[in-house]
Structures are given as C-alpha cells and as structure tokens.
Amino acid sequence: MVFRIDMSVRWVDTDALGVVHYSNYFRYVEAAEEELYRSLGFTFKELNEKYKIAIPRVEAFCRYRSPARFGDMLTVTLRLGEMTDKTMTYGFDIKRKNNEESVCDGYLKLIGLDLESWRATRLPPDLASKVTSALA
C-alpha cells in the first residue's frame, strides 16, 4: 500500500526559471509524511515530547524528471522501503495529477534519535508498527 496526497504548487516555491526550486520537492514529500502521521494519529511533536525521540533524515535522494510550475496539481506518493530497528526508508514519487507524468522520485532514510543523548536509538514501536500496517 501507499500513502498519497494531492497538492498545488505555490508561487513562492517557483524560481526565476518559472519552475519549482529543486529543494522544495523534499518539502512536498515532508508534507505527505506529515499527513501520513496525522492519519495514523500522531505527530513529530508527539514523538519528540512523548518518546523524547526525533526522526531526522540521514539520507535524501531525488531524481528530477520534469519540472512542475506554478499552479500545477501534484500527487505525492510515499512507499515504505527498508525498515530496521533504528531506521526506516520512504520511497517517494511526485507526479502531475492530471496525466500522471513523473516530476521526480527518490527516497528518504530516517533514523530514531534520542533527544536526551542525541544518539541513534530504536524507532518508537508505535511509529514502526503503525507505519508498517499503513504502508506494508
């Protein structure tokens, strides 16, 4: 299974070439990730406050295929890749909603981070199991 959101390209996300700045696609993927967690009933903030755990990215990769422009409606799709005790990987792609043309795709690898020691730690079991049931 996958998780999807639709979103429209904002003016502020474009650059002087008239296309979305490449760094912003990572923000679009994060919006999808935030909505996934909201749909599963928790937030980054609850992770931070309840478990004293954050889930920062340790790797980010994106391959750009065609540019999105102001006003385009996009579909952002998240897939679950490898999950270990301490890390999980989301594959993503972004397509134009109307014709499914590929805009970009890539992955994000996240790690559990203990906010007291600031060291790698196990992902909260609650997070891991909910994400697995939603996306496996």
The two structure tokens encoding residue 128: 């891991």
How far is Cα 83 from Cα 104, in angstroms, rounded to an integer? 23
Residues 1-30 binding its own copies (CB under 8 A) are 8, 10-12, 14-19, 21-24, 26-27, 30
Tell whether residue 126 is a contact of its own copies (CB under 8 A): no
Q: Are 18 and 69 in contact (CB under 8 A)?
A: yes
Buried-exposed string 12-49: b where 16+ CB fall within 10 A, e elsewhere: ebbeeeebbeeebbbebbeebbebbbeebebeeeebee
Give least dist CB 94 to its own copies, A: 13
Residues 72-101 binding its own copies (CB under 8 A) are none
> Cα–Cα–Cα angle for 116, 119, 121, nearest 5°?
95
Give least dist CB 30 to its own copies, A: 6
The whole-angstrom distance between residue 6's C-alpha and the CA centroid of its chain comes to 13
Q: State the number of binding residues for its own copies (CB under 8 A).
A: 39
Q: Based on CB atoms, which residue is closest to its own copies, 69 or 86?
A: 69
Tell whether residue 43 is a contact of its own copies (CB under 8 A): yes
Applying CB under 8 A, among 52, 64, 79, 114 the residue interacting with its own copies is: 64
Residues of this chain that bind its own copies (CB under 8 A): 8, 10-12, 14-19, 21-24, 26-27, 30-31, 34, 38, 43-45, 48, 54, 56-64, 67, 69-71, 115
